[in-house]
Structure 1
Amino acid sequence: MKNSIDVHTHTIASGHAYTTLLENAKEAANKGIKVLGVSDHGPNMPGGPHLFYFGNLRVIPRELYGVKILRGCEANIIDFQGNIDIPERIQNNLDYIIASLHDVCIEPGTVEEHTNAYLKVMDNPNVMIIGHPGNPSFPMDNEAFVKKAKEKDIIIEINSSSFKGARKGCEDTCYNIARLCKEHSVKIIFGSDAHTCFQIGEFKEAEELIKDLNMPEELIMNSDEHKFVNYLREKGKNM
């Protein structure tokens, strides 16, 4: 299976990433990526961009170097009620939102609180992906989480960066979540979480994690360049 999209990528606008959107797009083209999503951190991330940045993403061309560009955000879940740091008026104008818990934006709580944060954020119709849910800083009820994703048709990310030291100790939880996704027929997506252009499209660790699960290809959103775009259109997004 050739992975043709990567929608969890960061630019220098995120504050702790190191390449520009143009550099990311060029590298994506070199690697045969057909769809590239720019998903810089929401403004509550230390060093993150102002809200104006997300409001002005409309000026970015829809194609760069032959790569389709999607305008997104990795929003921060900021409380255990599932609120995020992007106002609704801006959410509505983005192609997609990845919602993630980061311990620099919210202090970890209880399993019940983490579970509630994830369940509540999935009620937001502009949230399409849950980012790196295997984070050991935020343990939760994995089955309740996956069942809610099924109910709301939310995509669960398998984040390659997590296995490279970003979230030490996440492997067992990520595997368990992936297994539950297969069991409940929940869509997954590999994310590079690239903070330089050189990481774009690099999913080896995520692929290794699920290789013995025999995950049906129809559940893997990276497997076809049109699959994720069609999913967004079904959610009412036009691009």
Structure 2
Amino acid sequence: MKFVIDTHCHTLASGHAYSTVMEIAREANNKGLEIVAITDHGPAMQGAPNIWHILNQKVIPEAIYGVQILRGVEANIMDFDGNLDIIDEHLAKLDIVIASLHEACIESGGEEKNTNAIIKAMENKNVDIIAHPGNPAFPIDYERVVKKAKETGTLIEINNSSFVSSRHGSLNNCIEIARLCKEYEVMITVGSDSHIAFDVGRFDKAIEVLMTIDMPDHLIMNFSSERLVKFLELKGKKRFSSITPIV
């Protein structure tokens, strides 16, 4: 499996991560990645950057060390109606938007309410990815979420960090989610969820999940920069309406 994209990386701006944008880009280049997404936590997370920091990512070059940089965010789902901690006007200015449930921002409401929160978040046209949906702290109806992802054109993330350093107990949940994505032909993306540069492009445990269910290559976003660019273009991301070729 040849991965050329990491769609989930945190810089020290997240408050509990330890690397800079340049360090992340350099490590991505070292590992042969072509695209890396900077997705620091939304402002509702303790220690996270404020909205002006997130929006000012416009000053970050589109490419560093030969790696394309997506200026994004991991927005927090704040309630069971799927509202996020960043308004749509601001989300629309970013290259890529992840939405996720975090214990620091919302308490689990049980399977029905948690599922509704994610489904409603996916109805937001600015949301591109649902992160770590296999988190056992937030039980959900996996089939409903996967079907909604297909309907809305949202990527489902297989999060490598969930098997290494956080959200313990995610493995079997993620295997089931991946199996359903395969069954319903739903695109997935693998994110390192790196909180230090050394973990950028680390997908070892996620690969094991994908191999377990024999996930077909055409459903894995990370294998093609052109595929991701086309996806973001179709999602209406302003930067990619007239993007220059990736070199």
* TM-score, reference length from structure 2: 0.95
1:63 aligns with 2:74: no
Specify the alignment match of 2:104 in structure 1.
Answer: 104
* 1:54/1:90 contact within 8 Å kept: no
Write the distance in 2 (CA, Å) between the matches of 1:104 and 1:77.
11
The runs of 5 or more residues in structure 2 that have no matched partner are: 240-247
Write out per-residue CA displacement over residues 104-158 of structure 1, whole angstroms, 9 at most, x where no aligned residue. Answer: 1111111111010011000000000000000000001111111000111110000
**CA distance in 2 between partners of 1:17 and 1:10 (Å):** 6
Tell me the CA shift for residue 165 of structure 1. 3.4
Q: How many residues align?
A: 239
Q: CA deviation at 1:96?
A: 1.3
Structure 1 stretches of 4+ moved >4 Å: none
> Quick check: 1:156 aligned with 2:156?
yes
Structure 1 alignment gaps of length 5 or more: none
Q: Which residue in the other structure is 2:135 paired with? A: 135
Deviation at 1:8, TM superposition (A): 0.1
Residue pair 2:93, 2:238 contacting (<8 A) in 1 also: no
Give, in angstroms, the shift of residue 100 of structure 1. 0.5
1:168 is matched with which residue? 168
Mapping for residues 16-31 of structure 1, pairs under 5 Å = 16-31=16-31
Q: CA deviation at 1:224?
A: 1.2
Q: Does 1:72 align with 2:72?
A: yes
Does residue 192 of the first structure (1) align with residue 192 of the second (2)?
A: yes
Rounded Cα–Cα distance in structure 2 between residues aligned with 1:17 and 1:229:
27
Inter-partner Cα distance in structure 1 for 2:215 and 2:110: 31
Q: CA deviation at 1:214?
A: 1.6
C-alpha RMSD over aligned residues: 0.8
Mapped to 2, the partners of 1:132 and 1:140 lie a distance apart of 12
Shift of 1:198: 0.2
Matched residue SS, 1:58: helix
- Alignment match, 2:119: 119
Distance in structure 2 (CA, Å) of the matches to 1:161 and 1:184: 25
Tell me, in whole angstroms, the C-alpha distance in 2 between the residues paired with 1:168 and 1:124.
29
- 2:73 is paired with a residue whose SS is strand
**1:87 offset after TM fit, Å?**
1.1
Deviation at 1:7, TM superposition (A): 1.4
1:238 to partner: Cα distance? 3.1
- Matched-pair contact (CA < 8 Å) for 2:12–2:19: yes
SS in 2 for 1:7: strand
Per-residue CA deviation, residues 195-238 of structure 1 (Å, 9 max, x unaligned), is 00000000010010120322111100001122111100111113
Q: Write the distance in 2 (CA, Å) between the matches of 1:164 and 1:66.
A: 28
Q: Equivalents in 1 of 2:133, 2:37: separation in Å?
A: 19
Residue 13 of structure 1 corresponds to: 13
- Aligned equivalent of 1:214: 214
